[in-house]
Amino acid sequence: MIRASSRRGRSSLRAFDPQRHGVCVFCHAVHGPQPLAGAPAPANPAVRPPPGSDPCEICHAPGKIAAKATVGERGHPVGVSGGQDYGPDLPLYGIGGRRQPGGRIACATCHDPHRYEPAGGSGGTSKAATSFLRMSADGFAPLCFPCHAEKSMVVGTDHDLRVTAPAAKNRAGRNTEASGVCGSCHAVHNAPPGMALWNRGWGAGRDERSRACTGCHSPGNDQGARVPPRAEAHLVNFPGKGLLSRLFTIGRSTGVGASNIAIFDDDGNQADQGYLSCASCHDVHRWETDVTSSGPGSPLEGDLTNSFLRVRSTALDRTFCAECHGESLVERYRTYHFPEGK
């Protein structure tokens, strides 16, 4: 409905006719600052939506005219600082909903409500390639990596499921080609409970990061993921042997400087005191540490210098293991790893 004035100066309602009034009038008032009759007001005007998001949430909210296209309770943060400016392709917004350098992330940072498919889009038809996005999120996910550049090295590695498991589907029922390399594991909107907007299955383990890993790296998986034969032997909190309740701190001093090993609490958050996890030793987005390029696009057989490790293993006294075991590592290795008499 749109509001029109009668001859007596009173307001009346009549059906909105896009052929007669044009599609713009439904959302934009041509004259005057009054709200549109066709777009219902927010449920609670006293609670201001995140900066720049309020025009979207007038319609995209439960009980509103776009209730079937809501983002859910869990999704990508809005109303938070972007950390830096990413240019006109991914604008940030101020409190008044206008573009503002140094502003905050809003719905309109990623979405252009006037264009269903991004300019120069991939030509795909999935929601990751369309959905009023400013840049496509399918394929190599150009929408995601301007902000998450430190994760972009996952492209072309074994954790890019287009390389290792192109038919595997996430919880939304989409394979990697439809969801993009990021969307195969992470949900932007309507994410299920759990850390990192995780959009795949959960496996065994004490903390959520380990359970995310074992969701694929477990026997009988359909992703072809390798299954560590004895992950529990290194005190990682899997059901099994090992000191499963042992707490660690990050204040370990080694001969190679500050430790790059991370420890986590039960919720999968990095902590000053916590437990060893799969993510303590592995960076799932980077096949080889210190490398800033993508992977080769084919499955790789790993060794102690790569395999998504946080630290490169080279000389024995600077090996990955020395991060925790310190200078005593060399003597331990010589004592226990060489046959007697050699």
> Residue 183 pLDDT > 90, yes or no?
yes
Give 299-303 contacts, CB < 8 A, sequence gap 24+: 299/158, 299/163, 299/164, 300/157, 300/158
Q: What are phi and psi of 76, to 5 degrees?
A: -60, 135
Highest mean pLDDT: which of 143-152, 220-229, 271-280?
Answer: 143-152
Q: What is the mean pLDDT of residues 308-322?
A: 68
Higher pLDDT, 255 or 17: 17
> Residue 17 pLDDT > 80, yes or no?
no
- Residue-wise pLDDT for 89-127, tens only, equals 999 998 778 898 889 899 999 999 999 999 888 888 888
Nearest to 183 by CA among 266, 249, 124, 254: 124
Helix (H) or strand (E) holding 214: helix 208-214
- Of 166-175, 259-268, 299-308, least confident by mean pLDDT is 259-268
> Residue 82 pLDDT > 60, yes or no?
yes
Mean of per-residue pLDDT scores for the chain: 77
Query: What is the Cα Rg of the chain in Å?
Result: 26
Higher pLDDT, 202 or 3: 202
- Residue-wise pLDDT for 18-33, tens only, equals 666 677 877 877 776 5
CB atoms within 10 A of CB 116: 11
Query: Residues 79, 104: contact at Cβ < 8 Å?
Result: yes
